């Protein structure tokens, strides 16, 4: 499977640069891993921030 952007790039450059074929399974695995990392990067700090008492947080700022 080659995304349309890769095909356009290949045609625009005259095939100077290689265009790699990527299987559906690889693309799905990459998307799943990216989703897991993004969720962890969003959820972990949010959970940590939710455990801080408001008064303690304000004291740390000022």
Closest by alpha carbon to 3, among 30, 33, 39, 35? 30
The answer to whether 19 and 2 are in contact (CB under 8 A) is yes
Whether pTM exceeds 0.75: no
**Domain annotation covers residue 41:** yes
Domain that holds residue 56: 23-62
pLDDT of residue 33: 97
The C-alpha angle with vertex 44 and arms to 40 and 50, in degrees rounded to 5, equals 145
Helix (H, G, I), strand (E, B) or coil at 59: helix
Residue 51, Cβ neighbours under 10 Å: how many?
7
Q: Would you say residue 38 lies in a domain?
A: yes
- Our count of domains for the chain comes to 1
Supply the pLDDT for residue 48. Answer: 92
pLDDT in tens, 32-57: 999 999 999 999 999 998 998 988 88
Any domain includes 33: yes
């Amino acid at each position: 499977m080659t995304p349309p952007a890769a095909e356009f790039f290949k045609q625009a450059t005259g095939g100077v640069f290689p265009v790699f074929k990527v299987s559906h399974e690889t693309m799905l695995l990459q998307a799943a891993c990216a989703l897991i990392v993004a969720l962890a990067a969003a959820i972990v700090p949010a959970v940590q921030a939710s455990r801080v008492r408001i008064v303690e947080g304000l004291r740390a700022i000022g």
